[in-house]
Amino acid sequence: MPRLRFSLCFLLLAACDCGGGAGEPCLSTASCPTGHVCIDSVCVDPDDRTPCATAVDCDAGELCIDGLCTDRDVEPGCEDLDGDGYGEGCSLGDDCDDTNPAQNGREVCDGMDNDCDGEIDNGVLSACGNCDPTCMSSGFGIPDGMPWDISNEGEDESDGVGVDDEGALVLDSRRINTNFIWIANTGEGTVSRLSTTAPYEEVGRYYTGPEASASSDPSRTSVNSVGDAYVANRRGTGLVRISVLGDSCPDSNGDGAITTSQDLNGDGIISRNLADGELLPWGEDDCVLWFRDLDDVFPGETLVRALAAQDVAGLDGDVQEYVWVGGHATSMVAKIDGETGEPLFSVQAPVATYGFALDGNGQLWISGRGNRAIGRVDTNRCVDLASCSDAICIASAGEGTECDTAVKARIPAPHRAYGITVDFNQRVWLGGDEPHPTLTYDARFSRYDPSAAGGSRWITVDVTPNGHVINGIAADADGWVWGAGWSTAGIIRIEADNPSNWITVPGTLGVNNKGMAIDAEGKVWSITNGNNQALVVTPGPTIDDNTLETGVGASTLVSNYTYSDMTGLQLRLATNPRGFYRHIFEACDGGEVDWADVVFDAEIPPGTNVSFRVKTAPTRAELDLVDWVAVGMTPPDVSPLSIAAALMGAGVVPERFLLLEIALQAERSSSTEVITPRVRSVDVTHTCVPIVE
């Protein structure tokens, strides 16, 4: 398009020859030569210009004046050296840089710094952070997003995460959702799932083996990070996995319907009469995911005693599920695929396996009941039969330092071993006893710190001068360790950093306390043996501040005998911390959607990571039916991450609903310190595809 360039002499009405009438000053069109019009006091030939409705119809450097594209240079009194229409005396305003037409002092979304403030497109980007005005964004975090909702009362779901004082999402093991406890009814061959929130209702009851009778003899339960329980049967060497999902369990028996144990009449008790339909016959409960007889894994075994779930995070954010099982009579340990129940390998254990506990460094600690010893297996290096067949290192002294680098080690203990656990400071705790000349037993507690120097690893306390054994043992998130003392021992509360400071919780003597566990609220559960009940202690901040509830489950438990991590909290407190936050996004009601990016702001200290994955479906309900799609992990990925590319790569069509999972994970930087990533904000962007009729 031809442009009219007028020298400053005409604009200032100076006496110079600017040629032929065009550009002459004027008061009206009547004062201009024939065929010219008076625009902004200057005679202009309309044939040289393009009709317009707005400046968008004109070339750069032109204005739409009286329906015609006109060079900005024609404005009288406007000193515009770069021809952008801005400058001293110009009606559009001053220019912040009159040597660069891209910088006129007014920011527009063009990838340039228009207002000369050193920032590009500040204040004019779309909600998605780009120049697409149709792109929309929503999310969480600081300073301007919605706050993270970790209450689990709405649609958002979280586990193992909290919010710090600044409002960022962080790891917080105290918020792990261990809201159920799995208690074995040994005398019936079932396991009960009870809510750990008062009034402690039984929400499910399941047979643990095809015998569907007391001959299964279930004892050990271990809960993985998703809340599912593994149950080991002492007789018949059976191992079963049971889902926590209730009526949302998969159709594992393939009958086309979801059937599972549930409290149909709402009385808080699962009826043991099969005719009532609350306890289902063996093979009919969809929440019983699989059963595996381990006779071929432990030939000649008569007592499957030890059990520990292990969840290992993969590089793509998925979790690899395993379970370690111990044969007591054969002194064998086996690694089982937690998803399928298929054995991966079995090897000789360092001690006769009675109890298992995993720490954050991947070490499997073993209580050797009947031995004054504990065992250790490095699960990072014991990954198959070949790598785990090395000779067992037998420590010559109680500290065990000469076996620190061994794959498998046997370490002398200061007393006979029974219960075992690992606290969040990675110290191993052992319950047990010693023979006494006049009493039945003399109960013992001991603490083993594998990171301490030789000569200072073991601390032992005689906790019950009046006798008897410490059975199960558990460590909480607040620095206390709890022991299930048999009969005259009672429930023991001990200060983890100062083991000589301990008490017997009043009211707990005379009960056969067997198993010990901590729930999500920090309450302490003692599973009795032969009393058909549990004791529940709500601890206060000081050692003498304890509230005791007795008779819990008395109307439902049968010959209960559970001794292991029956809530899953020990696994989550002692191992490398993991947590997640999930939110459902909804977009483009009635039209197609293009999910674009995950935009995030996070601090990622060394040894930590944050991963993102999504599901998309036409309805909320259908989100449960589709697979996760990994979007990315930082490090090494950086913001933004492309949801669109991830869905396309997986062959998944974007749908109206998107479920986003933000997973946080940390490795322990030392035996005691955990550094968490901090996610300040996360936004999801999308555009709605216009519907063409």
Q: What is the pLDDT of residues 481-490, one digit of tens each?
A: 999 998 888 9
Going by pLDDT thresholds of 50, 70 and 90, the confidence category of residue 212 is confident
Q: Mean pLDDT for the chain?
A: 85
> Tens digit of pLDDT for each residue in 109-150?
777 877 888 788 776 666 666 676 666 778 888 877 788 988
Residues 224-240, mean pLDDT to the nearest whole number: 88
Beta bridge partners of 319: 313
- On the question of pLDDT at 10 being above 50, the answer is no
Residues 577-582, mean pLDDT to the nearest whole number: 87
Going by pLDDT thresholds of 50, 70 and 90, the confidence category of residue 564 is confident
**Topology alike, domains 135-174+577-689 and 177-567:** no
Residues 180-186, mean pLDDT to the nearest whole number: 94
**What's the pLDDT at 271?**
96
- E-state strands within 186-318: 190-195, 202-207, 218-223, 229-233, 238-242, 288-293, 304-313
**What's the pLDDT at 373?**
94
Residues 351-375, mean pLDDT to the nearest whole number: 91
**What's the pLDDT at 27?**
65
**What's the pLDDT at 6?**
33
Q: Using alpha carbons only, give the angle 450, 230, 368 rounded to the nearest 5 degrees.
A: 40
**What's the pLDDT at 652?**
96
Residues 345-364, mean pLDDT to the nearest whole number: 94
> Tens digit of pLDDT for each residue in 252-271?
878 888 899 999 999 999 99
What is the distance between the alpha carbons of residues 372 and 343, in angstroms, rounded to a whole number?
Answer: 29
**What's the pLDDT at 585?**
93
Going by pLDDT thresholds of 50, 70 and 90, the confidence category of residue 2 is very low
Question: Concatenated DSSP letters for 530-586?
Answer: SSS-EEEEEE-SSTT-EEEEEEETTTT--SB---S-SSSHHHHHHS--EEEEEEEEE
Residue 109, exposed/middle/buried by CB under 10 A (0-12, 13-18, 19+)?
A: middle
547 or 100: which carries more pLDDT confidence? 547
Backbone angles phi, psi at 408, to 5 degrees: -130, 135
- Which of 212-216, 279-283, 337-341, 413-417 is predicted with the least confidence, judged by mean pLDDT? 212-216
**What's the pLDDT at 18?**
36
**What's the pLDDT at 128?**
67
- Cis peptide leading into residue 690 (ω within 30°): no
Would you state the torsion angle of the CA atoms of residues 522, 523, 524, 528, taken in this order, to the nearest 10 degrees? -150
**What's the pLDDT at 365?**
97
- On the question of pLDDT at 41 being above 80, the answer is no
| Structural Rg of the chain based on CA atoms | 36
> Tens digit of pLDDT for each residue in 58-88?
776 666 666 677 665 557 778 877 777 788 8
Is 248 strand, coil or helix? helix
Beta bridge partners of 658: 585, 616
Answer yes or no: CATH 2.130.10.10 is held by domain 177-567: yes
Residue 365 C-alpha from the chain's centroid = 25
- On the question of pLDDT at 4 being above 70, the answer is no
Q: Are 662 and 610 in contact (CB under 8 A)?
A: yes
- On the question of pLDDT at 176 being above 50, the answer is yes
**What's the pLDDT at 21?**
56
Q: Mention every residue, 6+ apart, whose C-beta is less than 8 A from residue 489.
A: 443, 463, 464, 466, 467, 468, 469, 470, 483, 504, 509, 513
CATH architecture classification, 135-174+577-689? Sandwich (2.60)
**What's the pLDDT at 5?**
31
Handedness of CA 117, 121, 124, 128 (dihedral sign): negative
**What's the pLDDT at 9?**
32
| Share of residues in the chain with pLDDT > 90 (%) | 52
Q: Mention every residue, 6+ apart, whose C-beta is less than 8 A from residue 529.
A: 512, 513, 514, 560, 561
| Share of residues in the chain with pLDDT > 70 (%) | 86
> Tens digit of pLDDT for each residue in 452-464?
988 899 999 988 7
- Which of 92-101, 553-562, 610-619 is predicted with the least confidence, judged by mean pLDDT? 92-101
Q: Using alpha carbons only, give the angle 364, 366, 369 rounded to the nearest 5 degrees.
A: 170
Going by pLDDT thresholds of 50, 70 and 90, the confidence category of residue 29 is low
Q: Using alpha carbons only, give the angle 53, 54, 56 rounded to the nearest 5 degrees.
A: 120
**What's the pLDDT at 503?**
94
Residues 550-556, mean pLDDT to the nearest whole number: 92
The residue behind tokens 């003899």 is 217
- The segment with the largest mean pLDDT, out of 35-49, 269-283, 584-598, is 269-283
pTM exceeding 0.85: no
**What's the pLDDT at 615?**
96
Domain extent listing, the chain: 8-74, 135-174+577-689, 177-567
- On the question of pLDDT at 57 being above 70, the answer is yes
What is the distance between the alpha carbons of residues 634 and 603, in angstroms, rounded to a whole number?
Answer: 10
